[in-house]
Each structure stands twice: as structure tokens, then as C-alpha cells.
Chain A
């Protein structure tokens, strides 16, 4: 175990944790409003393929193309989330079924795969990619440099988003209303808060964030599009929200932990650790199960975090 190794694990923790931070943050917002969105994986895939398509087809300066691709990915995620919002909020279908249906619909064998074929982006070499920045020219500083000062703009953007969401949730009136809607929509309604509007807005923003997480795959992690590129990250993002007790700061910790775990297996292999590689590949998922089990026992004891109205459609006229 040397410094280089720790640095390389930390760098990959951030690289592979970033899509989880983005998608998890979106899920957190939706769940805080009381809407469980299991369609994250599908929204990430749609974001990924849309971002890649836009970045491959649009001409112009690289930066503008990337920004357009990222915006397009957010819109794709938001569009899918709008379907989920309509089904679960307006029509009040079972949120679990609606979310699962969306993931299957948009997922590996669905819309995202179809879009990839129609747009013909499979097998193409990514033209525009996010590059690592050399912040303040300090990327060579030992340890801190490569970890904190030599990431791509999207990583810094995700940090800004986390700060914004934290501030919004706990320091603004709208954040307070949002939490009220998730905890007790009836009281919120009585206070004059438009429950439906809050749920719609946060579910859609959540979908946009998931789209951003997907875009990170095609614009930074693997500059290529292929069916099922996100490989289950959407599901881990959902688990992370529980792990983080619905708090953005803990979400970042959890996301980077998973990012580190997903690379750790390979690092251990290169260091000659003799365990079946299937074990390494399953590490993040074993971790998911352990974390969920632990979180739910703590939850059962203290009831922290879970929005009380999570997954429950709000029906005004019922009494």
C-alpha cells in the first residue's frame, strides 16, 4: 500500500462515483417530494445516448457542443421523468410499477438501444470528450493535485450541484416546503403549498439529473455508446439515497465509496490478491446489500430520513 495506490483509488472513486452523485441527487430530490422513481437506470441510459448523439452530430467549438450535449441529456432524462410524474402523481398508478416500466421501456433493450440504432451512433469514436482540467496549474501537487485539482469540469459541476441542493433543502423556504410535501402532504396542502406542482417539479428535475449522470458515461468515462452502458448504476443510485438517509452530503460519501469499490477489484487483481475475480466484480453489489441491511435496521430504530409519504400518492378529496 503506497501513496500512488491510494491516489489512484481516490481518483477512480471520483471518476466512477460522479454519475452516482448526479443520479443519486436527482433521486433524492424526487424522494424528498414523496415520489419514488425506479426509472433512474432508464433515464441515465437515455441521457447517455442523447448526449453522445448530440456531441457526435453537432458542429462548432468543442465547449459549446459539450454544453449542448449535456443540456440535451438533461432534457431527455426530464422528458422520461415527466412520464413518471404524470403516471404516479396525476394518474396515481403504483409508483414502483411505473418506475420499473420506465426502466424497462427506456433501458438496455428498449428506447435507448433503439435511439442508438436509429441515430447510428454505435461503434463510433467519441469526437468531443470532457478533458481533465489543470485547476490553478496545481495538478502536479502530490496527492491533492491529482485527486482534487485535476478533474474534468463535470466533476466540479457535480460538487456545485451538491452544495446547491443542500442549501436549497435545508436553508430555503422552498426546501422546507419540499420536505413538508414529502413528510405530510396533507399538512402542506393545508398550508397552501401546491403538492402536485412540487412533486412534478422535483420528479422532473430528478430525471434531468439522472440524464446528466448518463451523459457522464458517454462524455467522460467511456467515449463510446453501447446498449446498457450504465450497467446498473441507476439502481445503485437508488440504493445510495437510502444509504445516505436522504442527505446530499452523505450521498457524495456513498457515491465515492461505490466508485472506489468498483475499481478496487481490479486494483487488488493487479496486486496479486488471489481471490476469484467474480468476487471482485460483485463487490459493489455485496456492498449495496450490506449497506441497505444496515441502513434499514438503523432506520427501524430511529426513523431518520425516510420521507413519511414516500411512494404514497396524494389524494386531496379522500378523507
Chain B
């Protein structure tokens, strides 16, 4: 008697929980909910796509770091008659897979600014979908399938760890276009995109090198992968170009985004006596630690000045919007071809965030001069001779590392630290 009652309650509770979970997970992507009515009743199509973004991310709109969108060079791809099939009642669907929260004030936020740029550029003819906090690895496959089932025409996956799942999905769904940020694999319907963040990191390194008084800089680093090692190397070379004795001490957090952990890592560096902090994390927590300790800080991904106004020096930021707009337009026009895009300071993909108030005029001038040289193609941080951490030759004189080669040393495969870095490149 009692057992039966308990079982009934148990199943009722589990049912309610399951229903609530389902409701919550779909609430993070409210857009699909509005798909059904639109396709059922095209006459009354209340522009679902333009409604969606407003309800999706109120926080993104209210977020302080909008520098990337302010500096956006205006893209002007036009839609041809080939794109006529995409209308407000039958919108083109562009989906985004985020590794963190759209409100992280860092990496994912920058991507979401790009998504919103796509939305406002195309209006009701494009519907954007996104999934937040998608774990890298096998679980991503489920999310990709979900997006395909929701009718996504193009899927942008914004982290390296989705690569295996994307390759599999691209083969499984030949009619859907896939793009991956920071990866290396290409197929006829899978493209790669990223940009020379390392050039920006070299410039922020210069700001850090000029700011440090005791020559000790601390770097809160996420994962020991080439992308991050490349950042730290460029940052260190930049710092040492301003202060030849500067060292950069690296602490690995093994997470892209975990404010409490990032804080502990930053505090351990402060306790160790560094007077400038830098990070490659997705949240601005390191800056908050620097601000509290009265130190200086270079951020990453977005203009995060508001989180640490006194500590702020500058940061590498990414301007994804124009790229997304161009590629969505190409996909709608039917002219999309696979590619390996590597943007830079020259085409406005990588943008230096505004300097903090403590960066003096001389330092600003030096950094700007170097920035111009990079834009003009006369300077590349990864040009030899570069001495590795252990004193061996990292890059021989006269050699400039290519962005990516399937074999051999390239920027995408760099796995050693340069001289001046303290810490292990193995994590």
C-alpha cells in the first residue's frame, strides 16, 4: 500500500522535474519555439526571427563591453536573387554553438555580439539560434543534431573542442554548412575561421612589459593547447621587447570559464609577487583580482575596462560580426565555399581594445607603431630567431612560421614556450 503510493509520487516528481528541465533547456534558445507557427501560417508570420534576439539575450544588450561592435568595419554583402527563397516567413537559419554563456563578458560574448550583428543586418530573413554552455567532446554531437533537426542551414561552432563532432556531422549532413572557430579540419561543407590573436597579444604584451616595475608578469592560462601557447609566446615576446628582463609566469586553470577558479589562480600569482596580470580566460575575473590588489592587467576577448578601470591596460579583442555577416550572405546566395579564414589586425578582425588611463603616451606610440607594422605586413612576432624556454632554437633566423601546415612547425602547432616564460607548456 505504502510502497505503491511512494512509487506513484516518485514517478510524478520525476515527471515534473523532467518537464521543467525540458522547459528550461528550450528557454535558453527561445527562437525555435517560434518556428512552428511561422511555418504553419506564413501569412501571419510575425517576423519570429526579429522577435527572438530581443528575448534571447537581454543581458548581452545591457552588457558594458560593446567595443567590438563599435569598431565594426561596415560589411556590405548584398543578397542576390538566389537568396529570394529566404523570406521572413521562411527565414535562413544560422545557428551558433557556444562553449560558455553568452553573458560571459569575454569570448562567447564577443561571438554573441557577432550573432546579433547578423540578426540586425539581415532582419527577418535570417533567424539566429544559439546553444550556450555546450560541453566540448561527444555531447556536442547531440547539440549539432538538435540544431540540424531545428532546420539550421549553417552552424558556427565557436570552440576547438567541437572538431571531431563537426567533422562527423559534416559528413552525415552534406546539405548543412558547418564552420568552426580555431580548428584545422576542412571538408567541402566544413570551413575554418579564426584570426591572428597572437599579433594582438604581442601588443598587449608590450603594454604589460612597459607597465611592470619588478619585471614579473603573471598569466592565468586556460588549457595547454597550441592556441594558448601561441598567445603566451607572443605576449611574452611583446613584453620583453619593452623590458628585456621581464618574465611571464604561467598558471594553468584547465578551464575556459570558471570565475572562482580563475580567481584562485590569479591570487596565487599575486601572492608570488607579480605586479602585472594577464589572462587568456573567458571571464574578467583576473582583472577584478588585479584591481583589488592595485596591479595592472591586460584582458582578453572583449573590452573589459568596466570590470577593472584602474588596472586596465588593453586587450586583444575579436570582431566576429563582419565575418559572420559575409558568410551568412554567401550561404544564402549559394556562393559559400569551404575556406580557412585567418583574419588579422589589417582587416579589422582583430582589434586592440582602448588603452587604459595608465598607459603613457610613449608606450601607446610604440604599440601603435608596431600595430601599423603588423598591418603593413612588415612585422610578424613569429619570425626567427626565437629562442625557446630551454635555450634551444625555437624558430631559426629568417623563418616566419606559417599559420597552418598539416605537418611541420606552424603557428597552429606551436607547443613550446619562448624564453622568458616560467611554467610548463605541457600544462
CB within 8 Å for A227 and B101 given contacts A125-B64, A269-B268, A277-B254: yes
In the complex, chain A residues whose CB is within 8 Å of the CB of B58: 117, 120
Nearest chain B residue, comparing its CB with the CB of A266: B268
Q: Which B residues, 52 to 71, have Cβ-Cβ distances below 8 Å to chain A?
A: 58-60, 62-65
- Among B21, B65, B283, the residue within 8 A (CB) of A224 is B283
Is B245 an interface position by the 8 A CB rule? no
User: What mask results when residues 321 to 357 of chain B are scored 1 for a CB within 8 Å of chain A, else 0?
Assistant: 0000000000000000000000000000000000000
A263 touches B268 (CB 8 A): yes
Complex-state Cα separation, A57 to B94, whole angstroms: 34
Interface: A223 (CB within 8 A): yes
Contact across chains for A122 and B59 when beta carbons are under 8 A apart: yes
Interface string of B5-26 (1 = CB under 8 A from A): 0100110011001001100110
The reply to whether the CB of A267 lies closer than 8 angstroms to some CB of chain B is yes
| Interface status of B390 (Cβ within 8 A of chain A) | no
Chain A residues with Cβ under 8 A from B63's Cβ?
A: 123-124
Check B427 for interface membership: any CB of A closer than 8 A. Answer: yes
Is the Cβ of A125 less than 8 Å from the Cβ of B285?
no
Task: List A contacts of B2 (CB < 8 A).
Answer: 92, 315, 318
Structural contact, B10 and A224, CB atoms closer than 8 A: no
Q: Which of B13, B25, B105, B260 contacts A229 (CB 8 A)?
A: B260
Q: Mark A46-79, 1 if CB is under 8 A from B, else 0.
A: 0000000000000000000000000000000000
Enumerate B269-291 residues with CB–CB distance to A below 8 Å. Answer: 269, 271-272, 283-285, 288
Query: Which chain A residue has the least Cβ–Cβ distance from B255?
Result: A281
A-chain residues with CB within 8 Å of residue B284 when the two chains form the complex: 125, 224
A86 to chain B, nearest CB (A): 10
Q: When the two chains form their complex, are residues B104 and A226 in contact, meaning their CB atoms are under 8 A apart?
A: yes
Task: With CB as the reference atom, state the residue of chain A lying closest to B220.
Answer: A266
Q: Assuming A266-B251, A281-B254, is B101 touching A122 (CB within 8 A)?
A: yes
Taking the closest CB of chain A, its distance from the CB of B267, in whole angstroms, is 6
Closest beta carbon of chain A to B306's beta carbon, Å: 6
Q: Choose one: B14, B105, B306, B424; the contact of A101 (CB below 8 Å).
A: B14
Q: Which of A4-12, A189-197, A250-258 contacts B (4 or more CB under 8 A)?
A: A4-12
Tell me, in angstroms, the Cα distance from A92 to B10 when the chains sit together. Answer: 9
What CA separation (Å) do A91 and B6 show in the bound complex? 7
- Complex Cα–Cα for A271 and B269 (A): 10
Contact B102 A122 (CB under 8 A): yes
Contact B260 A222 (CB under 8 A): yes
A93-B10, A109-B25 known; A222-B252 Cβ under 8 A: no
Closest chain A CB from B242 CB (angstroms): 23
In the bound complex, what is the Cα–Cα distance between A276 and B27 (angstroms)? 39
Once the chains bind, are A8 and B17 in contact (CB under 8 Å)? no
In the assembled complex, which residues on chain B have CB atoms less than 8 Å from the CB atom of A266?
Answer: 251, 253, 264-265, 267-269
Chain B residues contacting A278 (CB-CB under 8 Å) are: 254, 427
Q: Does B271 lie within 8 Å of A4, measured CB to CB? A: yes
User: Are B251 and A270 in contact (CB-based, < 8 A)?
Assistant: yes
Shortest B265–chain A CB gap in Å is: 5
A97 to B16, CA, bound (A): 13
Interface check B423, CB cutoff 8 A = yes
Q: Are B258 and A109 in contact (CB under 8 A)?
A: no
Residue contact B268 to A270, C-beta cutoff 8 Å:
yes
Q: Of A113, A222, A277, which one neighbours B24 at CB under 8 angstroms?
A: A113
The answer to whether A269 touches B59 (Cβ under 8 A) is: no
Instruction: Find out whether the CB atom of B251 lies under 8 angstroms from the CB atom of A109.
Output: no
The A257-274 residues at the B interface (CB cut-off 8 A) are 262-263, 266-267, 269-272, 274
The CB with the most chain B CB atoms within 10 A, among A124, A224, A272, is that of: A224
Query: Is B257 at the interface (CB under 8 A from chain A)?
Result: yes
Give the contacting residue for A123; candidates B105, B265, B271, B288; CB below 8 A.
B105
The answer to whether A12 and B264 touch (CB under 8 A), given A110-B24, A224-B105, is yes
B21, B103, B271, B288: which contacts A223 (Cβ < 8 A)? B288
Task: For A226, give its contact among B25, B60, B254, B259 (CB under 8 Å).
Answer: B259
A91 partner residues in chain B, CB cutoff 8 A? 6, 9
Contact with B along A101-133 (1 / 0, CB 8 A): 100110011110110110011111100000000
Residues of A within 8 A of B171 (CB): none
Say how far B257's CB is from chain A's closest CB, in angstroms.
7
Report whether A97 and B14 are in contact in the complex, using a CB–CB cutoff of 8 Å: yes
| Contact of A120 (CB < 8 Å), options: B59, B249, B254 | B59
Complex formed: what's the CA distance from A113 to B272 in Å? 35
> When the two chains form their complex, are residues B14 and A92 in contact, meaning their CB atoms are under 8 A apart?
no
**Which residue of chain B has the shortest Cβ distance to A4 in the bound complex?**
B271
Q: Output the least CB separation between A81 and chain B (Å).
A: 15
The answer to the question of A245 belonging to the interface, with a C-beta cut-off of 8 Å to chain B, is no
- Nearest-CB distance from B92 to chain A (Å)? 25
Decide: B426 and A276 in contact? CB cutoff 8 A. yes
Asked whether B405 is an interface residue with its Cβ less than 8 Å from the other chain, the reply is no
Residues of A within 8 A of B145 (CB): none
Per the bound structure, the CA–CA distance linking A318 and B267 in Å amounts to 56
Residues of B within 8 A of A267 (CB): 268, 271-272
Q: Which residues of B contact A114 (CB under 8 A)?
A: 24, 27-28
What is the minimal beta-carbon distance from A144 to any residue of chain B, in angstroms? 18
Interface string of A270-304 (1 = CB under 8 A from B): 11101011100100000000000000000000000
Residue of A nearest to B257 (CB): A226
A110 to chain B, nearest CB (A): 5
CB of B368 closer than 8 Å to a CB of A: no
- Is the beta-carbon distance between B133 and A108 smaller than 8 angstroms? yes
Query: Are A93 and B13 in contact, CB atoms less than 8 angstroms apart?
Result: yes
Q: How far is the CA of A229 from the CA of B283 in the complex (A)?
A: 12
Q: In the complex, which residues of chain B have a beta carbon less than 8 angstroms from the beta carbon of A123?
A: 59-60, 63, 65, 101-105, 109
Q: A12-B267, A93-B13, A270-B249 are in contact. Are A231 and B258 (CB under 8 A)?
A: yes
Any chain B CB within 8 A of the CB of A154? Answer: no
B21 in complex: contacting residue of A92, A109, A116, CB < 8 Å: A109
A113 CA / B9 CA spacing, docked (Å): 27
A101, A116, A228, A274: the one contacting B13 at CB < 8 Å is A101
The smallest beta-carbon distance between B16 and chain A, in angstroms, is 9
Pairs across A and B, CB under 8 Å, 23 listed: A4-B271, A8-B268, A8-B271, A12-B264, A87-B13, A93-B6, A93-B9, A97-B14, A98-B13, A104-B17, A109-B25, A113-B133, A122-B104, A123-B105, A123-B109, A224-B285, A230-B260, A267-B271, A269-B423, A277-B224, A277-B427, A278-B254, A278-B427
7 additional A-B residue pairs with CB within 8 Å, beyond A16-B264, A123-B101, A277-B254? A93-B9, A110-B20, A117-B58, A125-B64, A222-B283, A226-B259, A269-B423
Q: Which 3 A-B pairs have the closest CB atoms?
A: A122-B103, A123-B103, A222-B259
Please give the residue numbers on chain A whose beta carbons come within 8 Å of chain B beta carbons, in ascending order: 4-5, 8, 12, 16, 87, 91-94, 97-98, 101, 104-105, 108-111, 113-114, 116-117, 120-125, 217, 221-224, 226-231, 262-263, 266-267, 269-272, 274, 276-278, 281, 315, 318
